[in-house]
Structure 1
């Protein structure tokens, strides 16, 4: 086997170094992202979408999805998203079981949707931001649910709960400089606990039937009395 000339080896090594340097210099930021450039672990600049360059070896880039809507799920997790999404709630019941203001229990499953508004705050202001934000969500939801009756939580008060939680989360996120905008809180499912759900359904059906009978009686009254008086 013929010996490889030392010059060829040197040329190959240099070529590899050049290619490696180019690969570590240029990077791509997608349209929904912003790049946060660190030099020796310290923030130096942010970069917009497109093909960008950095100093090889001494600079690194963290890509932050500023245009993408992010979410956290509470009381359940999406196992498979699609036309017929599959959900799992058994392992996450502790997140959902809450005490209402009239000392009843409700099982509240919800989603919070948010976007990154300040990549620097999002990355560096709060340690373990995801865990902190989840704990904040649970605390706020329990406080809001605890200020309402079980009837409000399960029926007429859902939209008010969503709005109140969203507003309080945004205030806290601003105070802690999390760099996020809380866009929406959605109550995915709200129910009484399984052992009392049949009884609650019976009461709810009875109330609906009562309301229907009242409406029918009023309609009949409005139809008969004017003719009798006329």
Structure 2
């Protein structure tokens, strides 16, 4: 019997002395209820029979609290609204005295295990109250349109800053990583009317975008045609100017040559003019300047046959 009792005592001592800390946590060791130390992850030993007590704190795990809804399967009792009406904590009044149902999520980590365990009684519940208070304050400073539409990112940023400030002030040992807004809806009695207003706004934006699309399609085309017409006019202007200047230069050169030899230049001009005109004349009649009658020299039958063939 003494050997059996000794073995049992050894087993009890061993069982109450050995403990394991997970990789994402640390253990806060208390001796006779007073804080002693923090130990990292791994296998550790402590004083048996309740002299030392080790509390596992998940310092590397990201925790979250949900407001207005609860994700199924959560192990944290303070993750969702279990003891209070979730709809009640989401009902808020905006700065323009309108009501809105705001759902959000707070993601946080335990930064200082000693403060988390000993400075504040039930820090997780305190964080829920702090988060709800801050969110009501931030939403109450804005209009309902800002809360539901364009002010979401600003609300998240301001709420995060104020929650972290209160957590540090209360020494909860919590570091808030993110505040994320989820669904934001008007109260149920006016939700149908609000949806109609949203649809009207979306239709308005759609028509504006279509008008801008047509504008961007027509105006650049007109601008391009205008630039093309202007360039064509400039080109025609330059062409006429160059042609006129060329004619002037040609006439000036011709006048200089004519001044030197008028008779030769006149005959040369006459011959060059005939060279340009004669190829376009199909029938040519050359007569003596002393001939008194022209009719005997014309072949009238040939002209009649040619006219009949053309008809």
Q: What is the DSSP-based 3-state SS (H/G/I as helix, E as strand, rest coil) of the residue aligned with 2:150?
A: coil
Q: Whose relative contact order is higher, 1 or 2, with alpha carbons under 8 Å and at least 6 apart?
A: 1
2:123 is the alignment partner of 1:134 = no
2:78 is the alignment partner of 1:62 = no
Q: How many residues align?
A: 217
Q: 2:14 aligns with which of 13, 17, 22?
A: 22
Shift of 1:226: 3.8
Whichever structure has more helix as a proportion of its residues is 2
Q: Distance in 2 between matches of 1:24 and 1:95?
A: 43
2:152 is the alignment partner of 1:144 = no
- TM-score, normalised by the number of residues in structure 1: 0.89
Q: What is the DSSP-based 3-state SS (H/G/I as helix, E as strand, rest coil) of the residue aligned with 2:194?
A: helix
Listed one character per residue, the Cα deviations across residues 65-124 of structure 1 (whole Å, up to 9, x for unaligned) are 00111111111222347xxxxx99994111100000111000011110100011001111
Residue in 1 that maps onto 2:77:
none
CA contact (8 A) 1:79 1:88 kept: no
Q: Which runs of 5+ in 1 are unaligned?
A: 1-8, 82-86
CA contact (8 A) 1:36 1:45 kept: yes
Listed one character per residue, the Cα deviations across residues 114-137 of structure 1 (whole Å, up to 9, x for unaligned) are 000110011111112122111100
Q: 1:95 aligns with which of 84, 89, 101?
A: 89
Residue in 1 that maps onto 2:2:
10
Q: Distance in 2 between matches of 1:227 and 1:113?
A: 53
Residue in 1 that maps onto 2:114:
120
Q: What is the DSSP-based 3-state SS (H/G/I as helix, E as strand, rest coil) of the residue aligned with 2:100?
A: strand
Q: 2:29 aligns with which of 24, 27, 37?
A: 37
Whichever structure has more strand as a proportion of its residues is 1
Q: Distance in 1 between matches of 2:220 and 2:58?
A: 65
- TM-score, normalised by the number of residues in structure 2: 0.67
Shift of 1:23: 0.8
User: How is 1:187-202 mapped onto 2 (pairs within 5 angstroms)?
Assistant: 187-202=181-196
Shift of 1:228: 3.6
2:212 is the alignment partner of 1:223 = no
Q: Distance in 1 between matches of 2:159 and 2:56?
A: 29
- Go from structure 1 to structure 2 and tell me whether the alpha carbon gap of 1:110 and 1:126 turns closer, same or farther (over 3 Å shift): same
Q: What is the DSSP-based 3-state SS (H/G/I as helix, E as strand, rest coil) of the residue aligned with 2:196?
A: helix
Shift of 1:199: 0.5
Q: Which runs of 5+ in 2 are unaligned?
A: 75-79, 227-311
Q: Distance in 1 between matches of 2:101 and 2:141?
A: 15
